[in-house]
Amino acid sequence: MAHKIAADKCVACGCCKDACPAEAISEGAPAYTIDADKCVDCGACAATCPNEAISPA
C-alpha cells in the first residue's frame, strides 16, 4: 500500500522527496505527490516530513 500526502499540510519543503529510496515522490502544485506504482511503502517519507503530511493510503 502506497503512502499519500495531504495537500493541505504539505509545504513543499522537499524533505520527503530527498528521503524516498524509490524516487516515487515528485513536485506537484501546490503539494508534492507520491506515485503509488513506484512507492515501496518503506515509510521513509513519513518519518522525514516535518508537518506530518504523509500517511499510509
Domain coverage including residue 44: 3-56
pTM: 0.90
What is the CATH classification number for the domain harbouring 35?
A: 3.30.70.20
SS (H, E, C) the chain: CCEEECCCCCCCCCHHHHHCCCCCEECCCCCCEECCCCCCCCCHHHHHCCCCCEEEC
pLDDT at 48: 98
Q: What's the grid cell of residue 49?
A: 516530513
Domain count, the chain: 1
What confidence tens digit (pLDDT) does each residue in 24-50 have? 999 988 899 999 999 999 999 999 999
In this structure, what C-alpha cell is assigned to residue 25? 515522490
For 45-55, write each residue's pLDDT tens digit: 999 999 999 99
- Return the number of other C-beta atoms located less than 10 Å from residue 45's C-beta: 24
